[in-house]
Chains A and B, each alone.
Chain A
Amino acid sequence: MSPRSARLGDAAHAAPVFAALGDATRLALMNRLATGRPHSTAHLALGLPVTRQAVTKHLEVLSHAGLVRDFRRGRERLWQPEARRLDEARLYLRAISRRWDEALARLKTFVET
């Protein structure tokens, strides 16, 4: 594990995305969109304890944070997660991957000495 460095610049850049995700409804919407397939506003609103108008507002917040984008198909407004999400998932794995590299290097030293 590498020491956690306080990089204020990074944190400031990251803040808008964390703010966008820091809401239960928006998290639920992101989880519904996580399949990668486009969903209509109506479909995303199903079963959520908020109005469809509120869902639209939440989706717009996510869109401003670059987490989703929308397009029209006929009269429907469809939403899908940004492809960048995949890159972020890779970054996440890379961070964990690095920690395994470090741990296994320590294990190697430990069993070989």
Chain B
Amino acid sequence: MNKQLRLDQANMRGPPNSEVDRRAALKLFVSGAALALASCGRPAEQIVPYVEIPDGMTPGLPMRFASALPLAGYGRGVIVTSVEGRPIKVDGNPRHPASLGSTDVFAEATVLSLYDPDRSQAPYSGGRVQDWSAFEAALQPRLDKARARHGAGLALLTGRITSPTLIAQIEAFTKALPQVKWYRYEPSEDDAIRNGAILAFNRPATLLPRFADARVVLTLDADPLGAGPEQIRFARDITQARRTHVPDQSLRLYAVEPAWTLTGALADHRLALRPELVRNVAIEIARSLGASVPELKGPPEAEHFAKAAAADLTARQGGGLVLAGPRQPPEVHALCHWINNELSAPVDFIAPVDPLNIGGIASLKSFVADARAGAIETLMILGANPVYDAPGDLAIADCVAAVPFSAQLGLYRDETAARCTWHLPLTHVLEGWSDIRAFDGTASIVQPLIRPLYDSRTAHQIMALLSNATGPSSFDMVRGYWQQAGKHGGDFEDWWRQTLQDGVVADSAAAKISLPAPQMPEVAPVSGGENFTLAFAPDPSLFDGSFANNAWLQECPKPFTKQVWGNALHLAESDAQSLGVVDGDMVRLVAGKAVLEAPVLVRQGQASHTVATTLGYGRAGAGSLGTAVGFDVYRLRPSDSPWALADVSVSKIGGRQNLLLTQHFFELEGEAKDLQPRFALADLAKKPDLGLSKPGGNPATLYPPHDYDTYEWAMVIDTAACIGCNACVVACQAENNVPIVGPDEIAVGRDMHWLRIDDYVIGGKPGFSPVPCMHCEHAPCEPVCPVAASIHDSEGLNLQVYNRCVGTRFCQSNCPYKVRRFNFYGYADGEEYKSFGDDIVKAVFNPDVTVRGRGVMEKCTYCVQRISRARRAAEKDHRKIHDGEIVTACQAACPTRAIAFGDLSDANSRINALRAEPQAYALLGELGTRPRTTYLARLENPNPDFGKAQS
């Protein structure tokens, strides 16, 4: 109800009772967690009630608040669950356009970052911990000096900022002091896209594809399904457009890319091409649309691909769409704008949400110039870490060090902090008030879930400090801003309350703009050189490296490679052969003066002469978990083309490095065919019987059937919709207190993820099938357990009773799916990896799920705690659980809604409809285990004329 009231209680007055509540909750929790499974000696426990109970809260019941989380500066709406004052789980906000109720790995892992013991906890300067007053004292004279000179010598360096309040603050500040410099950049920047639009339309504009209306999509080195602020939304739209089984109406995806991306994995046709050559395909398309450009000469497969794609694109008037990625130069983007215009493609344009007058890199360059010129005397770095993640050729570290007085506001005492005269602790996004815009401009209010754990401040407070307005709290500033800017018809209180509850500011999305016809840019086909090109990409697990100290993400197996706790240089098979290297061999990579020695990972289906790798590793100041994991490629990153480094020479050097993988120790394609069936939509239409082992069709058995009187839970996973983004994996980890094991344990073949994503390569094409517990009707694990710790329940669940388990591991050895996970050590219970064992980290535990001790088997429970909660709620008001009322953690996270859960005994349930689909199948169904988790086979929509077109 009136959440707002409670919240300003919790923040403005900052009443000690909520303080006590948090501490008490933590203390109680930790003492509770300390009691190992089946502990016999019972230490005295205490109950600490409230002095005054916070309005609207009931002890023992979770509370949920809408907020928004930043990624690369853009917001994704979330709903955060908090128990006893501890935020423990992040879910998507259905009302938010960049979430639609789903999450990504980064959103899911945010709660763990909040409780990261390595977070910066106090101001730091001169090699010792300071307090804020000391900083303010040190800053004041410089501020006064700067003010006297209209801000000359004072500079701000930030990442991408879309917070309306903060932008307003900074603009007010720079207006007051016109000489103040504001530099801003983003490690995962998209200047090329921005400049491409300027080149085509003479003005900056952001392209928003309408995938729902698209029938044929060609991505040129673009990865709309890959990690990024739009990932969730685009993934939903694209897979939704592919749901129909009518070949002509289903979205057909063509992908041209140097190295595997999630988009390429989903694509119906994929062409591996080194980055430089990608433009040739665009040019060929343009030519087929009547542009006067020279015809594409080789490589033949590229010609064929381009011709087929062009034919398909032009055939669907208004349904064809071409997307270029940030690695491609502006002229290619301009060309794509021209093509889309010719195709009258389903795209909208909005004014850039990120209100910058120059590109990020340009801004960074001007900073370097000014810093070298000594024009900057006082530098405030807000939330950025340029010393680590700026392009290496700018040598930012020296520039920052050259500034006499530099203060960095950050979550960690990181690489930049080490070069600044001051470091200031930044308030975590779950701790402080703010606001943020999504990629489409929709604004959200960022609500705190907990009072700051440490003496930290928000960027708003720092700006207030700079402009000598020390009075107001972040809450006042954000609320104040919207009181003026918000579209509330006078009644602000109601509007504010509603906005907080919805998690989005009503109709705040950027308005569509109409643009002139794009100009055809000057662009000619090129042919690749002899040397290699190094292609950078954001890391699917660590993104730009800012998540490097997050254990969940470090241990999240990357798509395709399944690598954890590190990165590698990806080489095409052909190149690997010619270099004579195999997985794990060290190579030396030389580009001009820069040299990198790193291990190799050989990748089938990658473009030759391309070395692919990801950002975010090799941190020097990430924290106890993330420091010195993998190798840093930012230092190789050229500021002129931040996503590709041309003319790189690669040579083999001695030595090997053990790559930490969780799969692919063996590859056997023949095996995979039955395990991950795939069909073309055309075949689906032709033959209804696909020769699959159907969910219903069970081999005969001697066992008596179970009789169920209430519910029969089951799950269906649509591998056609699974893009392999790992959101479900991390969501499961967050919901079920799944511990991390650390690199040493991974190295000996141990891992704890309840939900893994099997990645099988068939015909050179990877495909993903998420594998949770199958909850077999005739579970092989049940009869073999000597103590009945693995046991069936009256709703068909295959339970694992941790406190009964003695650890014979017979269940796992007899599980055909190998979905069970064993605590060889006390991964969550006394033998944690590094700082993962600190008490504060225990605050992230979900109190509804037992924390498993050493020597105990565990596995996916279908989120039995959620089932139980729903059942109790239903039984209290004398009704049955509605279809769709129970949503498992993985299901909630899935951006493409590939996971469905429901009650088999309800004839009209969605789950029953899905199991009746022609492409439904049971994994290893022939064994007679009668799995409750079944699959929908992967469906592809290849172009029937592909291959004919060129002949």
* A and B are partners in one complex rather than unrelated chains: no
